[in-house]
């Protein structure tokens, strides 16, 4: 069977980095084909997120996946980044550098992988929806260009992590998030992994030790303590304890169906105009809006199984590193 092609649009970012390690493991095992990685501005600038993505892949032994920096700014809002959450350069206490070219035009990459992989392509977005909304906004493209579109974002009818009601990715570019759901439909739904579920995927120092052991001699294993130390400290400072929420990793597993989860069909919309409720996401479970469903909203996921799945992918990377 041909492995499903995957395009990741991300903003590494520490939990994005763990998502990349997971996808690197699946790519190495031949379970998926990671055909491209593009980045958005959010956790840090778009060029920095691209350098970080290429660096994480290289530290996992992968240098043949094209990485391209995406749009530098949200659609309308001025860019805000979050060094307090992910570190000055988006990778905790580590400052990645790479030789790999990350300046290829991202839209050219999207057009190319869509043309090559047609409707079997799985798009996973773990940063702001800026690139996806811009690409859809050009007119000729729809979410039907992909077999599936899965997004990490929103705190749906739930407390936010950026404002009382908004999650970070949707808050950074609320117009993009709104546009994506305006274009989604029952025929072209988007799977949304919201904060409600992803914040349950928690890594603590003991879990990190287990992960590092599973990665064996994979170079990224040596970097993880200083990357995660920053993220643990951030979560502790916000009252969440000395541990970290690994949103984007869980989102990739949901996208690829590698972890058991539940969804509900609903209509999702995002507030883009009000400053007070900017980026707030809503789901119309009772049909008040009388609008068609546009989303598979994730409501539950098997977190212990997700960790087991991640460790198996990490062990694949360890075996590959040992044989190099």
Identify the three-state secondary structure at position 148: strand
CB of 248 to ligand BDR, least distance (A): 5
Q: 135 vs 168, which CB is nearer to ligand BDR?
A: 168
Distance CA 143, CA 255 (A): 15
- Residue 253 makes contact with ligand BDR by CB under 6 A: no
Among 9, 167, 175, 269, binds ligand BDR (CB under 6 A): 167
**Site membership for ligand BDR, residue 90 (CB under 6 A):** no
Q: 10 exposed, middle or buried (CB, 10 Å; 0-12, 13-18, 19+)?
A: buried
CB 199 → Ca ion: shortest distance, Å?
Answer: 13
Give the interface size with Ca ion as a residue count (CB under 5 A).
Answer: 6
Count the Cβ atoms, other than its own, within 10 Å of residue 50: 28
Instruction: Give the separation between CA 73 and CA 2, rounded to whole angstroms.
Output: 36
Could you say which of 247, 285, 296, 311 is catalytic?
247
Among 59, 247, 261, 278, the residue binding ligand BDR under the rule CB under 6 A is 247
Pairing of strands 67-69, 33-39: parallel
**Residue 81 Cα to chain centre, angstroms:** 16
Among 130, 161, 266, 281, binds ligand BDR (CB under 6 A): 161
CB of 198 to ligand BDR, least distance (A): 7
**Touching Ca ion, residues 21-80 (CB under 5 A):** none
Q: What are the residues whose beta carbons fall under 8 Å from the beta carbon of 271, sequence distance 6 or more?
A: 174, 178, 277, 278, 279, 280, 281, 282
For the window 178-217, what string marks contact with ligand BDR as x by the rule CB under 6 A?
A: -----------------x----------------------
Any contact of residue 89 with ligand BDR (CB under 6 A)?
no
Q: CB-wise, 167 or 175, nearer to Ca ion?
A: 167
Q: Per rule CB under 5 A, is residue 87 in the interface with Ca ion?
A: no
Question: In 3D, which of 206, 162, 188 has the Cα closest to residue 42?
Answer: 162
Find the binding residues for ligand BDR in span 264-323 (CB under 6 A).
none
Binding-site member from 4, 96, 127, 154 for Ca ion (CB under 5 A): 127
Distance CA 314, CA 276 (A): 42
- Residue 247 annotated as catalytic: yes
Question: H or E stretch including 133?
Answer: helix 130-137
List the interface residues with ligand BDR, window 109-128 (CB under 6 A). 126
Q: Report the sign of the C-alpha dihedral through residues 175, 178, 182, 185, in that order.
A: positive
Q: Does 169 bind ligand BDR (CB under 6 A)?
A: yes
Residue with tokens 């400053």: 275
Question: Does the footprint of Ca ion cover residue 199 (CB under 5 A)?
Answer: no
The one among 4, 13, 174, 194 contacting ligand BDR by CB under 6 A: 13
Interface positions, 28-57, toward ligand BDR (CB under 6 A): 43
Give the integer Cα–Cα distance in Å for 265 and 209.
Answer: 38
Among 102, 22, 14, which residue's Cα sits nearest to residue 65? 102
CA 241 to chain centre: 23
Query: Judged by CB under 5 A, does residue 92 bind Ca ion?
Result: no
Kindly report the backbone phi and psi dihedral angles of residue 302, in degrees, each rounded to the nearest multiple of 5, phi listed first: -85, 95
- Interface residues with ligand BDR (CB under 6 A)? 13, 15-16, 43, 85, 126, 152, 161, 167-169, 195, 247-248
Active centre residues (catalytic): 247
- Interface residues with Ca ion (CB under 5 A)? 11, 13, 16, 126-127, 248
């Amino acid at each position: 069977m041909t492995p499903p092609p995957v395009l990741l649009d991300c903003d590494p970012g520490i939990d994005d980095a763990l998502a990349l390690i997971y996808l690197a493991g699946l790519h190495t095992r031949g379970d998926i084909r990671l055909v491209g990685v593009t980045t958005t501005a959010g956790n840090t600038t778009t060029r920095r997120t691209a350098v970080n993505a290429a660096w994480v892949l290289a530290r996992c032994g992968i240098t043949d996946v094209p990485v391209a920096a995406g749009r530098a700014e949200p659609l309308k809002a001025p860019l805000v980044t979050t060094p307090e959450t992910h570190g000055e350069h988006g990778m905790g206490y580590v400052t990645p550098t790479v030789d790999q070219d990350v300046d290829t035009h991202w839209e050219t990459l999207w057009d190319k992988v869509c043309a090559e992989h047609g409707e079997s392509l799985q798009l996973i977005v773990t940063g702001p929806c800026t690139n996806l909304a811009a690409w859809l906004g050009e007119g000729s493209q729809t979410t039907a260009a992909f077999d599936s579109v899965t997004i990490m974002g929103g705190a749906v009818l739930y407390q936010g992590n950026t404002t009382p009601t908004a999650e970070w990715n949707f808050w950074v570019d609320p117009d993009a998030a709104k546009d994506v759901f305006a274009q989604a439909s029952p025929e072209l739904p988007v799977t949304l992994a919201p904060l409600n579920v992803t914040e349950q995927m928690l890594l603590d120092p003991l879990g990190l030790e287990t992960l590092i052991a599973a990665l064996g001699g994979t170079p990224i294993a040596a970097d993880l303590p200083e990357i995660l130390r920053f993220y643990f400290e951030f979560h502790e400072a916000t009252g969440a304890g000395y541990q970290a929420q690994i949103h984007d990793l869980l989102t990739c597993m949901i996208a690829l169906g590698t972890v058991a989860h539940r969804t509900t069909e609903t209509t999702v919309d995002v507030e883009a105009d009000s400053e007070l409720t900017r980026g707030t996401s809503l789901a119309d479970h009772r049909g008040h809006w009388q609008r068609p469903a546009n989303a598979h909203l994730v409501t539950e996921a098997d977190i212990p199984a997700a960790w087991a799945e991640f460790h198996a992918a990490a062990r694949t990377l360890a075996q590959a590193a040992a044989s190099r």
